[in-house]
Amino acid sequence: MSPDLTGKVAIVTGGGGGIGRATALLFRQHGARVALFDRSEESLRAASGEDDGMMAAVVDVTDAAAVAAACARVEERFGRIDILVNVAGGGLPRTLDATPAADWDRIVALNLSAPFYCIQAVAPAMRRAGGGAVVTVSSLAALQISLNNGASYTSAKSGVLGLTRHAAFELARDRIRVNAVLPGPIMTPQMDAKIDPATREAIPRKVPLGRWLTPEEVAAPILFLCSDAASGCTGTHLVVDGGLHIGSPTDAATYFARRDG
């Protein structure tokens, strides 16, 4: 059964590109009206186009007051808020010794404080709508450590799982479900622009499915968690990593070479 979001209103942070943009477009395909939050006006313009069912807002999601004001504008325009997808995030590839306190604070604010601010801001509107669904994009780093970023990113993404569980418990009485997705190696435009050739080639050998995943392959589980098909799911998470979390000590080619023939 195809999820039907007709009549629903969703906010997607980090909606200007990558997983956020893929999620917003998928939600529109399934009937939702969508508000995109992003820091880049140019990215928002490209993502929203001329679609009257989309609203674009330049928002710094690490600013609680700005988030609250933007969410109020969404409810004013569309009349309700049913879904929140926290996608905005990012990190820095630094060791513990090389991480200034200001960088730690910035990464934790973007990846952990921002989802908290957004959940806090939309909860009253969701109560008025009779319930809702929240999905936060964490990372496989929440269960392991980050390959491309430092301890600030790993810590914040781990914290997202705690926030998800606690918010799910508190908001369940309001019929608001709260879940997370944990992507692994996703070839977003941001990743494509910064990755070195050696890593680009090496990652698929470590992934059981043998390839980088796409933003659309993360958007689909997000859609599921926000739909009535996941009505019994709250306080949990889905790993979307092509099987990388399995933790094989070797790549697939080496594994099967030792066993086949």
C-alpha–C-alpha distance, residues 12 and 19, integer Å: 10
Q: Three-state SS for 25?
A: helix
- For residue 211, the tally of other CB atoms under 10 A from its CB is 12
C-alpha–C-alpha distance, residues 181 and 222, integer Å: 7
C-alpha–C-alpha distance, residues 87 and 162, integer Å: 17
Residues acting as catalytic residues: 153
Instruction: From 59, 28, 24, select the one nearest 135 (Cα to Cα).
Output: 24
| Strand arrangement, sheet containing 83-86 | 54-58, 33-38, 9-13, 83-86, 132-137, 176-183, 237-240
Distance of CA 166 to the CA centre of its chain: 18
Sole residue written with tokens 């050998």 = 205
Residue 20 near residue 38, CB atoms below 8 Å: yes
